[in-house]
A and B are shown apart, each in its own frame.
Chain A
Amino acid sequence: MSKGQTIGSTAILPGAAAEAPPEVAATPGKRIALLRVLGPGHVWALGVGIVLVGEYMGWNFAVGKGGPVAALTACWLAGILYTCVAMIDSEITSTVAAAGGQYAQAKHIIGPLAAFNVGLYLVMAYTMLEVSNAIVTGDLIEAFLANHGIPGSVDKRAFMVLTIVALAFLNYRGVLASLTLNLLITAAAFVAIVVLFLATQPWAPGAVLQHQSLFVELPYGSLGILAAMHFGLWFYLGIEGTTQAAEEVRSPARALPLGTMTGMMTLLIAATATWYVCSGLMPWEYLGQAVTPLYDAGRLTGNPYLEVFLFFGTLFATVASANGCINDASRAWFAMGRDRYMPAWFGAVHPTYRTPYRSIVFFVPIAILFAISTPLDQTIAFSILSGLLGYTLMALSIILFRRKWPLGTIARGYVHPMHPLPCALLLILCIVTYVAVFLGYGTQLVAMMTFYITASAWFVLHRYKYVRRGDQFTMHWPRPKGY
């Protein structure tokens, strides 16, 4: 699986739907739970799989914003941020175990407007990631054909459009086959990274890797470290998706934190290794703007087989990720339609394929528009910003969660330690990242905020009147303290 991949067997109806999964809805009066079959190893595999595409592209823009050292520092700082995210999300999700992620958590802990915004964060983060993947796919194919001297020219925009339309069609027809395919091609992409790492002989500096000659100090000074934090998030964006497996984990209290934390450690090592290989093969100025850094690394080893392998690795990782993104964005939009946060028309399921077909098709034009006309760093910035807003909300949400249902009042699968230290740390790192985004991408930040503020105003002034109030709270919990 890849960034943006829906997990678990509630493939048709995650999000709010998980509160009343299709199996349950089909059998009135009898509650059927999902099978609790997953252990820490599965949670680990889910986490690593979700984030894998982040190793293939996007992370390297952190090098452009601050140089190689700044990128590595940002990588580790972002690692701390995501460790806090994983701890907090493990507690909430192991309690709201059937609620399909942050969208439903916000409904139960904060309120409808916050849930509406969280739903939009998910849709925008996944759609912009899908667009980013399509851009990389087009660029990759164009570069590969050019590098191999294949006569004629290709229009990379055609491949971008083809990627989006073909994957939307796959999702329209049914999710099972496409998600199974995702597992296989992501595994191949993972192997490609390992092979690249071994082929560059990191144990023999100077043989292939040239850090001695390519390494530079901080080209922007210490401010570059702060600025690099922006794209540092890309190393791990999506790891919090592991906790959405809470309903299917045998022992959430053990498996969720253990699986997620070991996943984080694996990613820290993998991210550092990716950084090490690439910074030892490319001048930082090139690496900082490369669309396909790992493919370029493969080329620079001089091994044609490795180049082809990394071509397919990049292609697989981006296609799998885009596939998962269409899956997730459409389901978030579908869930919002079903709750009437968006028009109920989007809450329809295809009578034959059992997919949220209207939600799938709805975002295809937007995805194509951005893919063919927007630079990669911009779409990644939009995706990161939506994720960042979600993490900020998460830091505040855990405070409300502990206040409304203090420890001991409801059964928690996992209680994260040292509260409120992780949420304070998360909040501080989120603020640092906002400043990092402001450095160089300030106008995007304001544009994104304008979008969410306008959408919120629209929800408050218009959409909320269509929402059934009592239906927004479906957990079997006692009344929240203070209400």
Chain B
Amino acid sequence: MSKVPYEPPKQSVAGQIFDGLLMLVLVGITLYLPLLFKLAGAGTTTREFQSPTWESLGQNATMAAQWEKLGIAPEKAATIIGTRFDYSFNWVALAFTAIIIVGYFIFMFRYSEKEYREVIAERFGDETGPRRS
């Protein structure tokens, strides 16, 4: 016996607009707000240089010449050179992140499998039923 095709409900225009706006809000809340409030961003450490010179910044003559060709003085270069990524490892945070990613994929595959069976059943019918063209 073939499966009776599922007939989805009609969505009102207002409902569609609401759904569209919801996606924008979701992007704003999950991706933009963390950046706006500086909650996300490159994990860095900053080293301060008092009255920086090329020597104190660890730059040789060629490096200093290239910085200057780029129009950057030691004071400005100090900010760039003094900013380093912070790679101190937090195993708990790493495990938490890993659980989120793995859990996401497991859920996606499991639920997709359930939906996929519905799709196949409707597209092909059951083993003995006629094929829906």
A residues apposed to B, CB below 8 Å = 64-65, 110-115, 117, 147, 210, 213-214, 219-220, 223-224, 227, 281-283, 285-286, 289, 296, 299-300, 302, 340, 342-346, 362, 365-366, 369-370, 373-375, 377-378, 382, 392-393, 396, 434-435, 438-456, 458, 460, 462-470, 472-473, 479-480, 483
Contacts and interface: CB of A to CB of B under 8 A. Distances in A.
Contacts of A286: 66-67, 70, 72, 77, 80
Contact of A112 (B105, B116, B121): B116
Given A113-B112, A434-B97, A447-B40, 18 more contacts: A64-B85, A113-B115, A114-B112, A213-B60, A223-B87, A286-B66, A289-B83, A299-B70, A343-B20, A378-B40, A378-B41, A438-B97, A443-B34, A443-B43, A450-B30, A463-B19, A465-B8, A473-B120
Interface in B81-133: 81, 83-87, 93-94, 97-98, 100-101, 104-105, 107-109, 111-124, 132
Contacts of B118: 469
Contacts of A214: 62-63, 66
A460 B8 contact: no
Interface string B1-16: 0000111110101011
A173 B11 CA distance: 29
A369 B35 CA distance: 12
B37 to A, nearest CB: 11
A472 B71 CA distance: 57
A219 B93 CA distance: 24
Nearest to A454: B26
Interface of B: 5-9, 11, 13, 15-17, 19-20, 22-24, 26-28, 30-32, 34-36, 39-44, 59-63, 66-67, 69-72, 77, 80-81, 83-87, 93-94, 97-98, 100-101, 104-105, 107-109, 111-124, 132
Contacts of A340: 8
Please list the 5 inter-chain residue pairs (A to B) with the smallest Cβ-Cβ separation, ordered nearest first.
Answer: A111-B112, A111-B116, A343-B16, A213-B62, A470-B122
B80 A366 contact: no
Contacts of B32: 369-370, 374
Contacts of B115: 111-113, 464, 469
A115 B119 CA distance: 13
Nearest to A112: B115
A479 B120 CA distance: 8
A220 B44 CA distance: 13
Nearest to B90: A442
Given A285-B80, A446-B97, A453 B70 contact: no
B6 A469 contact: yes
Contacts of B80: 285-286, 289
Given A110-B109, A111-B119, A344-B16, A441 B11 contact: no
